[in-house]
Structure 1
Amino acid sequence: MKLLTLGINHHTAPVAIREKVAFDPEFLQEALHDLRQHLVGENHAGLPEATILSTCNRTEVYCAANDPNAENLLHEVTFDWLAKTQKLAPSSLQPHVYSLPQSDAVRHAFRVACGLDSMVIGETQILGQMKDAVRTANDAGVLGTYLNQLFQKTFSVAKEVRGSTEIGAHSISMAAASVRLAERIFGSISEQRVLFIGAGEMISLCATHFVAHKPKTISIANRSIERGQELADSIANENIEAESFRLSELPGRLHEFDIIVSSTASSLPIIGLGMVESALKQRRHKPIVMIDLAVPRDFEPEISRLNDVYLYTVDDLGAMIQTGASLRQAAVSQAEVIIEDRVGNFMHWVQGRSAVPIIQDIQQQGEHLRQLELERAMKRLMRGDDPQEVLNAMAQGLTNKFLHGSLHALQHSNGAERDALIKLLPKLFTSHSKPEDH
């Protein structure tokens, strides 16, 4: 079995590239089926397996193919498929892609789930995103034995690392960094009006952090007014107003807000240059802080050139959230030791699985020989032959047939092959049970 992880992340590509490779969650199952068809078309033995993890910081394709010669082919087919599906020239994608085979793929999955490969070291959101990706692959019917086992082990390792180290301590989340950025511009946000665009997990986390700083008002703009109102109701209290309105109303209301935080799954920008220019005129050029946590981006990049607009992307937040790195280093080292040990365990399981077809074949041959000798013995017993003689003959027959193949190979081998057999055969035929065990 060959394993492969191919992808890009915040270490290898800026947000301008990552947003072009990101997958729309609504079409992820369709993409998985298409990927499998491309892999099947390359004549892999058995059905290949696939999972796609696509977040604001990474897009990764995990593959498994039951073909001993599939490693290079897996990389080529998966890379070509990714470039073609996302309508990118291979030459523009190649410099940002990493390709990790076998144990490197396993190690990477473990590190990602533990938060070691995140922009925020030790963050927990990626684990939930990985679980969602696995659930989607399972629902699509493309998650087979190997990837299922890989991800179950991945989640187990993440739980172990988070339970036995302080990997999540001293970290600053994206949500907390968003508050700090806003405070850099306004000093305090207690007199500012905050707008959140979207109502997903990231926005919910951000809203919780902003509420703690008691802004003047909080509004939620969302396609689903019900989902937006649900979030607004959950964060409102006696000191803070919270409302919800439809996303379609945004052009007419953008000028009302001082701080705008957006994180949606839209494949196209929600806020354009013209909309912001109009809002600035109505605000008489009072500053606006815009924090874009989405990939693909929710704000047109050209907005950053406007005066009185402070636009930040997930990459801009990256520098802020590296504080506390030295305090986390000991926990990271502990986590790496655990991960390395568990990678070895998993690869041992993979190697063991590769022997299953051979074991099954040997067992079938053994069963065939057993049936032949048993039928011969039953015929002799029915003729009235002495049972002791029949049993001895059956035992002798089984022994001869069992040893025949190995002894024949040894007798007809020479050189290095003969030396290898001489070393191997004693291990194969040495009993591990003691006489008193019988």
Structure 2
Amino acid sequence: MQLVAVGLNHTTAPVALRERLAFGPDQIGQAVQAARQWFARIEPRGNDESAILSTCNRTEMYAASEVPNALDAAAHFLADFHKVNPSELRPHLYLLPQHEAVRHAFRVASGLDSMVLGEPQILGQMKDAVRVAEEYGGLGTYLHQLFQRSFSVAKEVRSTTEIGAASVSMAAAAVRLAERIFDTIREQHVLFIGAGEMIELCATHFGAQLPKSVTVANRTMERGEALARRFDGRAIRLADLPNELHKFDIVVSCTASSLPLIGLGLVERAIKARRHKPMFMVDLAVPRDIEAEVGRLNDVFLYTVDDLGKVVQSGIESRRAAVAQAEAIIETRVQSFMHWVDDRAVVPLIRDLHDTSEALRLHELERARKLLARGEDPEAVLEALSRGLTAKFLHGPQQALHHAKGDERARLASLLPQLFRGRR
């Protein structure tokens, strides 16, 4: 069984490609099932496992498969599912086998592979991905163990290092950028589009600056109203954006929409209605909520998730010691996990040895019982039983040694004493 991780992230691919490879929340379960079917067509006798992690910064597939070239199979699945040319996708993919896949999973869960070093949100996103994979039949022994250990490693890293102590979140970075555009956020009207975890975090950071007003636009009014109430704001429907957008100085968007919610024409009309008063816009969604062409407008300051990532890198130097400590923890846990994987590989062999030994034992025991039933001396029966067991257990190794030649015989001769060295 091969463990693999295949995907792309903010360091290997631009947002334009990441959004093409992103899975919507309603697609992931279907994709997990499709991935298993994809592997099964290549190796029908396999018992493949798969899980998919898709965030604004990464799309990754983790798999445990008996397919001979599982890495290529996984890469082609991602391309096929999203109808992307494999040759276009391949230069941006990382293809990680066995221990490299395990190390990557541990680093992702611990926040070491994030755009914001040490950020905690990825752990929750990973747990959600695992929950969906389990619900749709994607998890088996290998991936279940991989992810449970990933969560354990993440907890150890966060509790024993300072990896997240100085973490600057995307939300905090957005506030810092807004403060470069406006003298004070207290005088600005802020619109949040969406009501998910990232928007909640952004609303908390901007809310701490006491803006003039807070509005939440969401597809579901009930959820939008619940978030708006926390900041003494109001909620509107997404359908109201064409009539409302011009009222806002700051717009932060992060939804799961597969298509842009805010187009160039809509923003042009809003800027005209604002009499060209500047508008600060942050698009944290992948795929993007705001058309990229909006960034070319003179009075609009549009930042994507990648732009904010550059801002948050400024504190990375001070965390090098924490990173080194975290990497050391991860490396130790990788070795432990791979030892478990190696042990799993010999489980069938050990089971066969037990079954064979048990059959031999029962056969000799039955002979001994028959001898005792005929009135044979118990001491002689026990002697015969022990000799019979010894002879049968040694028959296979003796035959193998007898028929082996050259290097093979030398190898067996060195191994057999270790295999039969028991406690006395």
TM class by smaller structure: over 0.9
Partner of 2:42: 42
Residues 327-380 of structure 1: CA deviation (Å, up to 9, x unaligned): 110000000111111100000000000000000001000011011111111111
**TM-superposed deviation, 1:235:** 2.6
Amino acid across the alignment from 2:353: I
In 2: Cα distance, 1:45 partner to 1:165 partner: 44
User: Residue 98 of structure 1 is aligned with which of 94, 98, 101?
Assistant: 94
Q: Is the counterpart of residue 203 in structure 1 residue 199 in structure 2?
A: yes
Amino acid across the alignment from 2:417: P
Partner of 1:120: 116
User: Residue 304 of structure 2 is aligned with which of 306, 313, 321?
Assistant: 313
In 1: Cα distance, 2:183 partner to 2:4 partner: 48
In 2: Cα distance, 1:114 partner to 1:282 partner: 46
Residues 411-433 of structure 1: CA deviation (Å, up to 9, x unaligned): 221211111111111111111x3
In 1: Cα distance, 2:187 partner to 2:21 partner: 39
Partner of 1:28: 28
Partner of 2:15: 15
| SS at 1:24 equivalent | coil
User: Residue 154 of structure 2 is aligned with which of 155, 158, 161?
Assistant: 158
**TM-superposed deviation, 1:306:** 1.0
In 1: Cα distance, 2:277 partner to 2:214 partner: 18
Partner of 1:390: 381
User: Residue 176 of structure 2 is aligned with which of 171, 180, 192?
Assistant: 180
Partner of 1:6: 6
User: Residue 170 of structure 1 is aligned with which of 166, 173, 179?
Assistant: 166
Residues 61-108 of structure 1: CA deviation (Å, up to 9, x unaligned): 00101x3xx35x212221111111111111211110110000000000
Residues 247-275 of structure 1: CA deviation (Å, up to 9, x unaligned): 11111100000000000000000001111
| SS at 2:42 equivalent | coil
Q: Verify the 8 A CA contact 1:56 1:296 in the aligned structure 2.
A: yes
| SS at 1:26 equivalent | coil
| SS at 1:4 equivalent | strand
**TM-superposed deviation, 1:5:** 0.3
In 2: Cα distance, 1:60 partner to 1:388 partner: 67
Amino acid across the alignment from 2:198: M
Give me the TM-score of the superposition, normalised by structure 1: 0.96
| SS at 1:323 equivalent | helix
In 1: Cα distance, 2:245 partner to 2:76 partner: 41
| SS at 2:387 equivalent | helix
| SS at 2:155 equivalent | helix
Q: Is the counterpart of residue 221 in structure 1 residue 217 in structure 2?
A: yes
Q: Verify the 8 A CA contact 1:171 1:323 in the aligned structure 2.
A: no
Partner of 1:415: 406
In 1: Cα distance, 2:407 partner to 2:157 partner: 46
In 2: Cα distance, 1:80 partner to 1:412 partner: 46
**TM-superposed deviation, 1:44:** 5.4
Q: Is the counterpart of residue 337 in structure 1 residue 333 in structure 2?
A: no
| SS at 2:8 equivalent | strand
Q: Verify the 8 A CA contact 1:19 1:296 in the aligned structure 2.
A: yes
Amino acid across the alignment from 1:144: G
Amino acid across the alignment from 1:39: F
Partner of 1:239: none
Q: Is the counterpart of residue 356 in structure 1 residue 352 in structure 2?
A: no
In 2: Cα distance, 1:191 partner to 1:44 partner: 63
Amino acid across the alignment from 1:264: T
In 1: Cα distance, 2:77 partner to 2:334 partner: 28
Partner of 1:137: 133
Q: Verify the 8 A CA contact 1:121 1:171 in the aligned structure 2.
A: yes
Amino acid across the alignment from 1:348: H
Partner of 2:393: 402
Partner of 2:228: 232
In 1: Cα distance, 2:92 partner to 2:114 partner: 17
| SS at 1:372 equivalent | helix
User: Residue 362 of structure 2 is aligned with which of 368, 371, 375?
Assistant: 371
| SS at 1:61 equivalent | strand
Residues 382-411 of structure 1: CA deviation (Å, up to 9, x unaligned): 111111111111111000000110111112
Cα RMSD (Å): 0.9
**TM-superposed deviation, 1:234:** 2.0
Q: Is the counterpart of residue 322 in structure 1 residue 318 in structure 2?
A: no
| SS at 1:175 equivalent | helix
Q: Is the counterpart of residue 212 in structure 1 residue 208 in structure 2?
A: yes
| SS at 1:417 equivalent | helix
In 2: Cα distance, 1:316 partner to 1:310 partner: 11
Q: Is the counterpart of residue 346 in structure 1 residue 346 in structure 2?
A: no
Give me the TM-score of the superposition, normalised by structure 2: 0.99
Amino acid across the alignment from 1:61: M
